[in-house]
Every structure is written in C-alpha cells, then in structure tokens.
Amino acid sequence: MSTSTTAVGHDEVAALKTVALRGGLREPVKVSCSTLGERLDASSQTASRRLQRLESAGLLDRDVVGDGQWVTVTDAGERRLRGEYADYRRLFEGEAGLSLSGTVTSGMGEGRHYIQLSGYHEQFVERLGYEPFPGTLNVELSEAAVRARAGLDSVDGIPIDGWEDEERTFGPATCYAAEVRADGDAFAPAHVIVPERTHHDEDQLELIAPAKLREELDLADGDEVRVRVTDAERADEPAPSAGGADAGGSA
C-alpha cells in the first residue's frame, strides 16, 4: 500500500463508503467500475479514477484482475469513515465529543522535557488557561477506542504553534479538552495532546493537566481509564455571547 498527499474529497469518500457497505471493511470484495459508477451516478472512468485516488491516499488496497478488481478498505480508510460517522452523529444527535477507554502505561519520559520547553509552555499557559504538570499521562487505547479515535477530527481543538530555536525546529500540536475518569473518580481540566510529529502509534494517547493525574486519580500502570473528549475553547479568547455579536442593551 502506498500513501501520499493525494487529495480526497466527498466524491472519493462516497466511493469508499460504497466499498465498505459491500463488505470491504471485513475482507476483499470484487468491484467492477461499471457497477460502482452506476451506484455513484458516474461513468466507469470516473469511478476508476476515484478508486485510484483512494489507493494513492492509502485509504484502500486494490488488486486489479481481468474482469474487475478486488478492493479492501485499509485501517486509514476505516478511520476516515469513522470521522465521517462522528460528524453525522454530531449533526443529527447533537452529541459533541467522544469517549475513549484504555489502560495507563508508562511513557518514555519525553513529555516532561517537551512540556517545559518555553516555546510550548508559554502557549499552554496562555491558551489552555493553566500551567501543566511537567509530564504526560500515557494511555494505551482499547481496540474499539483506536477505531473511535478518528472522531477527534470532528472535535474542536486548540492549536499549539510550532516554533524554533537556534538548534532545531519544533512541530505544532493540537490540544483537545478532556475529562479523565477512573474507578468512579474524575479529573478536569485536562487535555489530550496530539503532536503533528510523533512516534506514538494510533493506540497511544497522551494527556496533560495542571496536576499529576496519576496522583489525583491514584493510578498505576494497567489501571483502566475513560477519557471524555469535548470541544475546547481557548482561555485567551472570549467565549461567544449567547445573544450573538449584535446583542446589546444595559442591565
């Protein structure tokens, strides 16, 4: 499977959904471009191009044979579809955010170093509204949570800008507001931090908070936690008024 920066739009996602509905999430399914084109109200050539773009973007695998092709939705393709699902669920059910479960695990100790770097630390204090504890809580997500993680794309996060010093460049990240629950106790505020550059796999989640979460929630490696992620608002920006920008009057 090859991956690239190939642009994938709504038309390609519709083709991806069609393949998934035919069983392509579970196993390879045989697809002809003429049949796919009919389902998408497009020509065979257009259907073929959409499949090629999906393959180039790493969202599906194809094996072309004489009378068609066998296609399978990849893990990245499933994450894209789950992101679409989260958007529609939010639209029709009014449910913002998502819940991710997993177990506490030890990290490599890099969180402490990066959180204390001035280029990041100043932004955390300004935009999150608190001074984070120098370290992260690492959570290994359950299999279901790894799939659900794609829903982060539909949640509003707080951007943390990249920056550079005399020696190197440091990449940007996004922080998502979170509440951490364990054994009946809960802690907030906290934030899931997702660096643009990371060596962590999709099954790893990092959280920062103004206190040491292990102590606040009496956590040890292997303990189960649930992280509720919701839309985040920047502490350095005023919240929108309920009456809108034109609301006025005196008390």
Binding residues for CDP: 107-112, 211-214
Tokens of 184: 């009946």
Annotated binding residues:
107-112, 136, 138, 198, 206, 211-214
**Distance from C-alpha of 72 to C-alpha of 63, rounded to nearest angstrom:** 9
| Residue 162: closest CA among 195, 132, 131 | 195
Phi, psi of 167 (to 5 degrees): -105, -35
Phi, psi of 105 (to 5 degrees): -140, 160
Q: How many CB atoms lie within 10 A of CB 55?
A: 21
**Distance from C-alpha of 115 to C-alpha of 133, rounded to nearest angstrom:** 8
Annotated binding residues for Mg(2+):
136, 138
Tokens of 13: 């996602």
Owner of token pair 């069983």: 23
Question: 86-102 in b/e burial notation, b at 16+ Cβ within 10 A?
Answer: beeebeeeeeebbebeb
Helix axes 44-56, 10-19, angle to 10 degrees: 90
